Structure 1
Amino acid sequence: MTTYDERASLSDLTDTADRVRRSVERVIEGKPEAVRLSLTVLLAEGHLLIEDVPGVGKTMLAKALARSIDCTVRRIQFTPDLLPSDVTGVSIYDQQRKDFEFKPGAIFAQIVIGDEINRASPKTQSALLESMEERQVTIDGHTYRLPDPFMVVATQNPVEMEGTYPLPEAQRDRFMARISIGYPSPEAELEMLDVHGGSSPVSPLDDLQPVAHADDVAKLIEAVRSVHVADTVRRYAVDLVTATRNHPELRLGASPRATLQLLRAAKATAALAGREYALPDDVQSLAVPVLAHRLLPTAQAQLNRRTAEQIVLEILRHTPVPEAAAQAWREPYGRSSDRGL
């Protein structure tokens, strides 16, 4: 049975998330889906990869999300000469104390913005692996915990761009979702020129103030964890991921980590909609952003110009959706009268 406190938490979640969404949309206009997915990943305790061509607002979206929350924020500008120690930190010998002192790197923040992550060498990219998965950093045999909540928002240009290194499979798998912002509509672009194209242009980030605290986000994450996922919805997610491993046009399917993150994102989507239970629709809406970047098409599929996104959409069309009465998705909560609704 759902308690009063749980219902209040979900109500607080939708109110707080709506404030953050409106704050980000003051900067990123006309892209509500990108903003919604960013919030979903944040509340699902994941990491976000924003991939698109230069100049469409990738870094602006990451900064707007970070500035809308009163938390510690660090930015890492990934370049070919960036070292792993610049990211994680380094132990420096203190001659006065005659001992090594740890100097934390840029990864020690609650929201870390990794700008143009695929311009760094694979060695430096791999420095993020432990921190993104285990939320800790190990240096010289000592383990240092990262703050809560912790989220990496990375941007990258398409691999066809000059001077980029493709992210290793293990690195891509640690990002819960990949989104693309795309070009703005002509109307949104004209409005951008009116607002920011004057004689004294002002950055839209300058007036952005925090609308939520890091402690509030931590409580909202706890509320998302309490969202119920029925066995049939779990099976549906597993069926989708299994289909990627057996698809003839894929040489690498989605990992078990992908299944876990797909369900976590579905729970966050349900909570943002004010529901205490996840639906198959939540899983469907997240399949492409959560699964596609983990998949590797075969050489023949690439010759046929088949993308991972197209293959995921095909899998969605051919995977049976569980059929049940709406009441079945929220079985643990009993009848409506039992829940006080």
Structure 2
Amino acid sequence: MSAELDIFATAFSDVVTNVERVIRGKREAIELAVICLFAEGHLLVEDVPGLGKTTLARSLAASVNASSHRIQFTPDLLPSDITGTTVYNQRLGEFGFRPGPVFANLVIGDEINRASPKTQSALLEVMEERYVTVDGTRYPVPLPFMVVATQNPVDMDGTYALPEAQVDRFLMRLRLGYPSTEAELEILESRQVGRRVEDLSPVMRAEDVVTHSERTLSVHVAPALRRYIVDLVASTRRIPDVLRLGGSPRGSVALLRAVQVRAASTGREFATPDDVKALAAPVLAHRLVLSPETELKRVTAEDVVAEVLRAVPSPRRLIGV
């Protein structure tokens, strides 16, 4: 274990433990969210109301001493309400740019699929390029930059489906699910003693996130494992009777980065097929568009990813390890 990765593993554990003070019984989901943070990706948290989606996003923001803005998406929200706009300054006699809430290290997009598709698309450029273009001028957002968006299931009232191009820009999608009985009792106890997001103290600075992200790049991913990642994603493009749209090359890159961070979180200098298998569903499933026939059979994208994992040989089997 190298000294730098040892430092990263400790920092990773500190953030997870801090968030877990508020989000009870969901350690796996918290770890995935923190992996997304250090992989320099964006996170989409989807589930029914009341399961702590926004609390998870706020807890992650509270654990990092960085700028954060929350945007409550509503049907009447305009793109300029997110990116900012050019306004006339009477005192100076000139136009100036007034930045919108997207100019922050961590942007919480609450119920993102309640806004119109036009407003949702305002995030497309900044999520990919870390720049916002207003009136022909490009403005950089601060680094690190992460969008944590929450959304209710698409079949609920008042929601709009996110465009495929925007969904593909999220490195991961998480579903929290209902807590166990024990975890729900802990939630009630936490509320009784006043343990809230507002009580969390930061355990890391914004610049530390950038430094730690760079450390994870040193994790070795063997050529056979990189080929395994590409084969997994490519195989989703070859089942048109099941999928209308398979995984993109952006999905391959996202899976590689997430795998490196997961390995580094345990202090390992190398990634394994188990890292890929553990992250395949949260990184790839939301990028797949099911065919109508598949949806009628109540098959989920996660089911398709699980089948692909069973069908594509892993490097372990190929080299007889």
Written as runs of structure 1 = structure 2, the 5 A alignment for 1:157-196 is 157-196=152-191
Which of 268, 279, 284 does residue 291 from structure 1 map onto? 284
Distance 1:107 1:206 in 2: 22
- How many residue pairs match? The answer is 319
Q: Which residue of 2 aligns with 1:47?
A: 42
Deviations 1:156-207 (A, max 9, x none): 00001100000000010000000011111111112222332x4xx7351132
Which of 261, 265, 272 does residue 272 from structure 1 map onto? 265
Distance 1:99 1:307 in 2: 54
1:232 partner amino acid: A
In terms of mean alpha carbon deviation, does 155-164 or 91-100 score higher? 91-100
1:121 and 2:116 equivalent? yes
Structure 1 gaps of 5+ residues are 1-5, 329-341
Distance 2:121 2:195 in 1: 33
Q: Which residue of 2 aligns with 1:3?
A: none
1:292 partner amino acid: A
2:257 partner amino acid: R
Q: Is the 2:263–2:270 Cα contact (8 Å) retained in structure 1?
A: yes
In the TM superposition, residue 254 of structure 1 has moved relative to its aligned partner by: 0.6
In the TM superposition, residue 95 of structure 1 has moved relative to its aligned partner by: 2.1
Written as runs of structure 1 = structure 2, the 5 A alignment for 1:47-196 is 47-196=42-191
- RMSD across aligned positions (CA): 1.6
1:110 partner amino acid: N
2:161 partner amino acid: P
Distance 1:25 1:183 in 2: 16
1:293 partner amino acid: H
In the TM superposition, residue 324 of structure 1 has moved relative to its aligned partner by: 7.5
Corresponding residue SS for 2:2: helix
Q: Is the 2:72–2:111 Cα contact (8 Å) retained in structure 1?
A: yes
Corresponding residue SS for 1:53: coil
Q: Which residue of 1 aligns with 2:196?
A: 204
1:215 and 2:210 equivalent? no
Distance 2:20 2:255 in 1: 25
When Rg is computed on C-alpha atoms for both structures, the one with the higher figure is 1
Structure 2 gaps of 5+ residues are none
In the TM superposition, residue 323 of structure 1 has moved relative to its aligned partner by: 2.6
1:174 partner amino acid: R
Distance 1:188 1:324 in 2: 38
Distance 2:79 2:273 in 1: 41
Q: Which residue of 2 aligns with 1:303?
A: 296
1:15 and 2:10 equivalent? yes
- Name the % identity: 57
Corresponding residue SS for 1:147: coil
User: TM-score, length-normalised on structure 2?
Assistant: 0.96
Q: Which residue of 2 aligns with 1:231?
A: 223
Deviations 1:222-250 (A, max 9, x none): 10122221110110000000110001300
Deviations 1:81-124 (A, max 9, x none): 01100100100011222211100000000000000000000001
User: TM-score, length-normalised on structure 1?
Assistant: 0.91
Q: Is the 2:22–2:195 Cα contact (8 Å) retained in structure 1?
A: no
Q: Which residue of 1 aligns with 2:236?
A: 244
Deviations 1:264-299 (A, max 9, x none): 111111111111111111111111001110111111
In the TM superposition, residue 306 of structure 1 has moved relative to its aligned partner by: 1.0
Distance 1:240 1:72 in 2: 37
Corresponding residue SS for 1:109: coil
In the TM superposition, residue 325 of structure 1 has moved relative to its aligned partner by: 10
Q: Is the 2:82–2:100 Cα contact (8 Å) retained in structure 1?
A: yes
Q: Is the 2:39–2:257 Cα contact (8 Å) retained in structure 1?
A: yes
Q: Which residue of 2 aligns with 1:339?
A: none
Q: Is the 2:61–2:68 Cα contact (8 Å) retained in structure 1?
A: yes
Q: Which residue of 2 aligns with 1:255?
A: 248
In the TM superposition, residue 150 of structure 1 has moved relative to its aligned partner by: 0.6
Distance 2:272 2:317 in 1: 10
